[in-house]
Amino acid sequence: MGQITLQGVQKSFGPVHIIKGADLDIADGSFVVFVGPSGCGKTTLLRLIAGLEDVTGGAILIDGRNVVDVPPAKRGLSMVFQSYALYPHMSVRGNIAFGLKMAGIAKDEINRKVEAAAATLNLTPYLDRKPRELSGGQRQRVAIGRAIVREPKAFLFDEPLSNLDAALRVQMRLEVTRLQKQLATTAIYVTHDQVEAMTMADKIVVLNAGKIEQYGSPLELYEKPANLFVAGFIGSPKMNFVTGEPAKQQGAATVGVRPEHLKVERNGQGGWPGTVSVAEHLGSDTFLYVDAGPLGMLTARYVGELGLSPGDKVSLIPDPARIHRFDDSGKSIHA
């Protein structure tokens, strides 16, 4: 079991409020990603759950028990650190076994568990190596091995893939997701990369300046962002925001349209006219950065190739069903 509930969790460092009251319900077995820009408090929130920081206020419940005063090791969670934090003088076996050894488990049982974990992570040939003799991806797997071998109630991941190169990151992303599904253990994963968040999560928590902006499934966040911040943060390239006359027509202070929901027409009529200033040709897609005069710079995504080059006149026609409307305070207006 690994059901985690946060009730009004607050954290201040002196006069600085890092977490301004977080309420959250994480179901057993789900994969929850904390995402947000740097400094939004996502790592702090994870460390509060881990017990590496003390809360200033509120309660953290694991399986219904308030663990605010329980030391980290007794909370039954395990953590994968950004720097991996492997013990450099111990072999891979020693690293994975350390937590079990500290728990006073019998030697042969430790060996059995370590070997099972190593087999799951394809680490068996490296069990007797030192961390410095491993590649980045292998170190990452050792760090994960150290976490899974303790059979925790939940895994906590603190930006574990940020030190890997792009190709390896995609591969590890898949491996972590698959492993989590296979073990069916609750996981909380911190990242600033919204692609990682969208691809891995069952549910995403979008954090901004110490507040939870929205909590929902990736598609909910994409289709029904609660406010301007979430709308701008989720999705790549970023959503276009337009204020002024076109917004007023829709009865909103701001309207937002994702680049993929703008139809591009060469010399077209209607919609929002503009001039292509930059065209990025990816083959499969074309990203157009269009100078739309009073509406500002708009980004449009066209699937395939349209043969446009800078200076060409285009017209951007928003998909009426996919226009997001926001009020003065930035909140979403749902019809």
Partner 1 sequence: MATQQTQLLARTLLTPAVALLFIWMIVPLALTIYFATLHYNLLDPGSETFVGLENFRYFLTDPAFLASLQNTLVLVGSVLAITILLGVPLALLLDQQVVGLSIVRLMVIAPFFVMPTVSALVWKNLLMHPVSGLFAWIAHLFGLPAIDWFNDAPLFSVILIVAWQWLPFATLILLTALQSLDEEQKEAAEMDGASAVSTFIYITLPHLARPITVVILIETIFLLTVFAEIFVTTGGGPGLQTTNIAFLIYSQALIQYDVGSASAGGLVAVVLANIVAFFLVRIVGRNLEA
Q: Which residues bind partner 1 (CB under 8 A)?
A: 50, 52, 71-74, 77-79, 81-83, 85-90, 98-99, 102-103, 146, 150
- Least distance (Å) between residue 64 CB and partner 1: 22
Please state the closest distance from residue 37 (CB atom) to partner 1, in A: 22
Shortest Cβ distance from residue 250 to partner 1 (Å)?
49
Nearer to partner 1, 151 or 305 (CB): 151
Q: Kind of pairing, strands 154-158 and 77-80?
A: parallel
Report in angstroms how near the CB of residue 28 gets to partner 1 at its nearest. Answer: 20
Residue number with CB closer to partner 1 (146 or 261):
146
Closer to partner 1 by Cβ: residue 118 or 290: 118
For tokens 């994409």, name the residue: 222
Q: Which is nearer to partner 1, 192 or 313 (by Cβ)?
A: 192
Task: State how far the Cα of 308 lies from the Cα of 171, in Å rounded to an integer.
Answer: 34
Instruction: Look at residues 301, 300, 309 and name the one whose alpha carbon lies nearest to residue 273.
Output: 300
d(CA 106, CA 245): 72
Minimum gap (Å) between residue 209 Cβ and partner 1: 25
Is the backbone peptide bond immediately before 237 cis, with ω within 30 degrees of 0? yes
Residue 105 Cβ, how far from partner 1 at the closest point, in Å? 11
Nearest to 90 by CA among 135, 132, 120, 130: 130
Going by the DSSP 8-state scheme, the letter that residue 115 receives in this structure is H
Give the separation between CA 106 and CA 91, rounded to whole angstroms: 19
Nearer to partner 1, 150 or 261 (CB): 150
For partner 1, the closer CB: 71 or 270: 71
- Please name which of 7, 333, 31, 54 lies closest in space to residue 182, comparing C-alpha atoms: 31
CB of 258 to partner 1, least distance (A): 38
Give CA angle at 194 (276, 281), nearest 5°: 30
Of residues 127 and 234, the one with the C-beta less far from partner 1 = 127
Nearer to partner 1, 13 or 248 (CB): 13
* Alpha carbon distance 116, 93 (integer Å): 11
Helix (H, G, I), strand (E, B) or coil at 253: coil
What is the end-to-end Cα distance of the chain in Å, rounded? 39
Q: From the CB of 84, what's the least distance to partner 1, in Å?
A: 8
Tokens representing 186 are 């609750």
How many residues does the structure list for the chain? 335
Question: Whose structure tokens read 């390239």?
Answer: 237
